[in-house]
Amino acid sequence: MPTVKRLHAPLAWVGGRWQRDVLLSVDASGHWAEITANVPLPPDAEPLGGPLIPSLVNAHSHAFQRAFVGLAERRDAGQDDFWSWRDRMYALALRISPQQLRAVAGQLYAEMLRGGYTQVCEFHYLHHPADPAYGGQVFDDELDMAWALAEAADEAGIGLTLLPVVYTRSGFNAPGLRPEQHRFAADADWAWRACQRVAAAGLPRVNAGVALHSLRGASPQDIQRLRERVGAADVTIHIHVAEQTAEVADCLAATGRRPLQWLADEGLLDPRWQLVH
């Protein structure tokens, strides 16, 4: 693929160390074609004003939450915690449409690019239309929310790893999700099908993996089923492993083990897994 642009950095982090006079060639796909150190500034290269580091990956994003940044900073009662924050977040999650999500995600992804991020892993559990009791929505495609994220990433120019989330219960001993969580409902088969569809779409900056909301949000049977569906496929498997201390305490009460210990003891972990907060 031909080179379309050349950049020159006086200092850059290449090969695990700082190197001087680094020439960087960009191909038509937006990828680096060649990176060479100790090259004097060529006349056709754009000089960069300072040191250059590799771009960053945002390994865990909930793009829709950009819409209520700053809106959960006021207490409604004497006690405020993760769960009161989550209730405010649900108020947004129950209303946002695919068109609104695309606009919000587009702003967020542009902000990420300006901050030096070129890839984002989107932990995507806002799947379904809102029920009539919460305003009602109609989708043309069960993946309309996923496509909104993919379109936003493409328009912004950032790489996207879309991670459809398995979410089937509201807690370790709960029989299912709560009514206000209906937009999140997805079992292992749904998440794997969504992953396969996104991957098959052939979008140039988009790839796909799968995710489990958490050990409290997905049962052992869900986790086993997802493991069977993924098999040996080279895809990311992502999970909230311990969002807050109450989750660790609940996991101990339900299983006798902390979340990381449970995952390790079950023999689930391999290099494909990403464990986040």
The answer, yes or no, to whether residue 77 has pLDDT greater than 70, is no
**Structure confidence by residue, pLDDT tens digits, 92-138:** 888 899 999 999 999 999 999 999 999 999 999 999 998 887 778 88
Looking at residue 90, what is its pLDDT? 81
pLDDT in tens, 8-57: 999 999 999 999 999 999 998 778 899 999 999 999 999 999 999 999 99
Which domains does the chain possess?
Answer: 3-47 (no CATH), 56-276 (3.20.20.140)
What percentage of the chain has pLDDT greater than the value 90? 79
Alpha-carbon distance of 228 to 214, in angstroms, equals 18
